[in-house]
């Protein structure tokens, strides 16, 4: 009994140590963001929060168009997420519940695209954007990401399990066509699945770096990640300033995650294991 208890304490001890390691960067970011760079540039370094946050914030806002790039990021992440949810769920519904000619082949192609590392095609991708005249515009980030194979695959499975055929049949008898069924039967049932895919897409869009870096060529039209990288390039040694910027870019996403992601982590893990 006693050894059981010590074992439990030891276990939690190790896990809490792990938690501290996982959380430490955020603590240290706040330390640097609330002190001046000269406070950090000393030995031994200051380990506690300071009072320079407002000055540091002002420095960040002076050196990059923070609000502009934040707005761009929000626009890109929200629009992409909404489009993905709409297009992916519509396609998933068709694949899950309708037997149209060529369905199996088309779904096979969709699965096949998982294995293509399209990320390596950014050079010709950029050339295509030049041809379309979309270089420098947020369209170049949103449109290519507006539908994806992962979401269709995930939601097809979800609809297959969650939406009973009998309900769809009843709707059909009432004269509901494909889109009517989608809106009034499927969407209300699959809300939890949509929430998962939505958070997943939003995080990916928020943090995306290499493609925005390549395609957003106007310095006054950037996303947060690219602006942050620029801040780092120009003010790399001004720790307080760059850390304040980094912190500002990270906080909204983590806040959103903590608010909405109650089941997100376990859903993600379950999905990975099932496959």
Binding residues for other proteins restricted to 174-203, rule: CB under 8 A? 177-179, 182, 203
3-state secondary structure 218-233: CCCCCCHHHHHHHHHH
CB 166 to other proteins: min, Å: 20
Is residue 1 at the binding interface for other proteins, with CB under 8 A as the rule? no
Listing DSSP states for 45-58 in one string gives: PP-S--S-HHHHHH
Contact 163, 97 (CB under 8 A): yes
Q: Is 130 or 170 the residue whose CB approaches other proteins more closely?
A: 130
User: Is residue 28 near other proteins by the rule CB under 8 A?
Assistant: yes
The first and second tokens of residue 198, run together, are: 């939505």
Rounded to whole angstroms, the Cα distance separating 229 from 63 reads 12
> Does residue 19 belong to the site contacting other proteins (CB under 8 A)?
yes
Q: Looking at beta carbons only, is 122 or 168 nearer to other proteins?
A: 122
Which of 68, 82, 232, 260 is close enough to bind other proteins by CB under 8 A?
Answer: 232
**Ranges within 34-93 binding other proteins (CB under 8 A):** 40-45, 87-88, 90-91, 93
Q: 85 to 114, contacts with other proteins by CB under 8 A?
A: 87-88, 90-91, 93-95, 98, 100-101, 104-114
Evaluate the CA torsion angle 87, 92, 98, 101 in order and state its sign. Answer: positive
Length of the chain: 275
Pick from 3, 117, 165, 220 the residue near other proteins by CB under 8 A: 117
CA distance 71 to 227: 12
- Picking from 181, 161, 179, 162, the residue whose alpha carbon sits closest to that of residue 170 is 181
154 part of the interface to other proteins, by CB under 8 A: yes
Size of the site for other proteins (CB under 8 A): 105
- Residue 183 CB, shortest distance to other proteins, in Å, is 12
Residue from the set 27, 49, 58, 116 that interacts with other proteins by CB under 8 A: 116
Among 136, 221, 257, 260, interactor with other proteins by CB under 8 A? 257
Residue 18 near other proteins by CB under 8 A: yes
CB of 69 to other proteins, least distance (A): 12
Per-position b or e across 215-228, b if 16+ CB within 10 A of its CB: bbeeeeebbbbbbb
Residue 28: which region, alpha, beta or left (left: phi > 0; alpha: psi -120 to 50)?
A: alpha
């Amino acid at each position: 009994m006693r050894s059981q208890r010590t074992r439990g304490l030891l276990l939690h001890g190790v896990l809490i140590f792990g938690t501290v390691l996982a959380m430490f960067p955020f603590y240290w970011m706040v330390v640097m963001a609330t002190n001046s760079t000269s406070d950090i540039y000393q030995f031994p370094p200051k380990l506690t929060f300071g009072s320079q946050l407002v000055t540091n914030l002002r420095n960040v806002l002076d050196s990059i168009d923070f609000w502009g790039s934040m707005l761009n990021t929000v626009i890109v992440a929200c629009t992409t997420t909404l489009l993905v949810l709409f297009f992916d769920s519509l396609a998933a519904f068709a694949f899950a519940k309708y037997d149209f000619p060529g369905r199996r082949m088309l779904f096979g192609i969709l699965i096949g695209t998982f294995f293509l590392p399209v990320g390596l095609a950014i050079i010709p991708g950029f050339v295509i954007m030049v041809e379309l005249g979309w270089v420098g515009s947020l369209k170049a980030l949103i449109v290519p990401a507006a539908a994806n194979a992962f979401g269709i695959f995930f939601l097809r499975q979800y609809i297959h399990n969650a939406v009973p055929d009998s309900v769809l049949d009843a709707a059909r008898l009432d004269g509901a066509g494909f889109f009517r069924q989608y809106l009034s039967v499927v969407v209300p049932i699959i809300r939890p699945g949509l929430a998962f895919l939505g958070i997943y897409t939003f995080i990916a869009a928020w943090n995306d770096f290499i493609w925005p870096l390549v395609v957003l060529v106007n310095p006054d039209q950037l996303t947060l990640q690219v602006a942050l990288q620029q801040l780092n390039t120009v003010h790399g040694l001004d720790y307080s300033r760059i850390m304040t910027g980094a912190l500002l870019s990270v906080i909204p996403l983590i806040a959103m995650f903590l608010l909405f992601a109650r089941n997100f982590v376990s859903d993600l893990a379950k999905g990975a294991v099932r496959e």
